[in-house]
Amino acid sequence: MDVNRRKLQFLSAKGEHEELKRSLGENVRLLSGEMNNIFRQYDVLMEEKTTGGTESALKKYMETEGIDPLMLLDMQESIVKTDILIKQWQYEIYTKYLEYLDISGQLTRLPIRNYLSPDLGQIEF
């Protein structure tokens, strides 16, 4: 009777382990897809900022006399809105990256590393 109970406990624990493993794998795939989408949107926004020419046009208009100040403010507002969107996407990228590191077990792996530094330096205690 005791052996059967232990077998049942073992099989239950094994089933829970397999379900958790499958769930984590699915979460990693979903998060990876989300990160790819965020990277694409960020790249589009950065390309728009660099090729849009709003900043260079603003400089040219500022040098021109008699230009409508509201037009200059609208252009500056557009630049600031783009910069805010870029910062928001950068925040999303870092957030999803840390979530990915957590789900994949990288954050608890030894030696502890700074995954936000360019060289992934090891953290010393």
- Full pLDDT tens readout for the chain, 125 residues: 888 888 889 899 999 999 988 988 888 889 989 999 999 999 988 888 888 777 777 777 677 777 778 888 888 888 888 889 999 999 999 999 989 888 888 888 888 888 888 888 888 77
Which of 6, 32, 11 has its CA nearest to residue 99? 32
Q: What is the pTM of this model?
A: 0.69
DSSP state of 25: H
Q: How many CB atoms are located within 10 Å of the residue 32 CB? A: 14
Rounded CA-CA distance 12/18 in Å is: 10
- The SS3 assignment for 64 reads coil
In order of 41, 58, 64, 83, 102, the CA distances from 53 in angstroms are 19, 8, 17, 14, 39
Assigned token pair, 118: 């360019």
